[in-house]
Structure 1
Amino acid sequence: MTTVYSVDARIEAPVRDTEVTDRVRDAVEALFPAVEFVSEPGLLVAETHSLDDFSDKLHEQEILDTARREFDRNRTDDGFTFSLKKQAAFQGVVNFAVGDPDELGDIDVAVTVRSPSVEEYIDHLAPPTEDGAPVDPDRR
């Protein structure tokens, strides 16, 4: 049976005076290609209803455990948040931001999960691993 995921993700990236808005847009699209943008003064805002491409990046970079820790660290009953380094995003690389934001600011992502549950959606995005490989949920 295929699970249908219902999520909303809001992605915010500051645009500094020294930056070109289109470059910041490119950085966001490198990690979240299926977004719709809205520009606000000094801020680029994007929304999407799928993080599957982002999940693919997590798998490619083999950082599922790191992603799960970040998602769980900022988890609520309705969803989770996380921040990414803007400089890495320019290169199409996922690098979670911890501590103080970079000079250019971080890309902040807020995910609201409507269905199924937050835990199940996190398992979909970044499945649990065993020896670094994703675990088949039917074997658990």
Structure 2
Amino acid sequence: MIEVRISARVNPTETEEKVRTAVQSIFPTVDLIYNATDDTGLYGNVEGISDLGGLLHLHHLLREEEIIDTARTQFEVGMSRDAPFTSFRISKFVAFVGRLNFPAGEEPLGSIHITMSANSSFELQRLIEWLAPPTEKGKILFETDIEDVEIT
């Protein structure tokens, strides 16, 4: 089973609604909740949990923006050695306009944090191949079907 956890910090200079818009422009089907992280309510996090279906729009955007190699690198760099999951960040600012960018580090106002977990390393590898398949000279070598990602 694939589980996708998404979170983004809401700063005092931002509105919860704008952060929600940024997250949902990449993950439109994810139900988000707001959690205040201090007593003033000025700081908080927008968070959501999804399944494989929640990644469909990300899958589409990676191809539309032709950044499959960059995404694959981010997924592989973020892989855990101890458990079948990978973590990566997407720019909150860029996501607000419906585009993708993988920032080199945490952004000053915070990034969108994503953790994708699977039941096994094999299932995680299938997930990565589905989202960001191997390429050669910018051309996709093969496409994995979404039905072949989760192992039941």
Same fold (TM over 0.5): yes
Match of 2:27 among 26, 32, 54: 32
1:118 maps to 124
Q: Kindly tell me the number of residue pairs found equivalent between the two proteins.
A: 132
Superposition RMSD in Å = 1.5
2:71 maps to 67
Distance in 2, matches of 1:18 and 1:123, equals 38
**Pairwise CA distance, 1:137:** 5.5
Per-residue CA shift, 1:75-114, capped at 9, x if unaligned? 1231100001111001111100212x22211110011112
**Pairwise CA distance, 1:120:** 1.2
1:45 maps to 47
Unaligned runs of 5+ in 1: 1-5
Q: TM-score normalized by structure 1?
A: 0.88
1:17 maps to 12
110-119 or 31-40, larger mean C-alpha shift: 110-119
Per-residue CA shift, 1:6-42, capped at 9, x if unaligned? 3111111000011110110010000011101121011
Q: TM-score normalized by structure 2?
A: 0.81
Aligned residues with identical type, % of pairs? 33
Aligned: 1:104 with 2:99: no
Normalized per residue, the structure richer in strand is 1
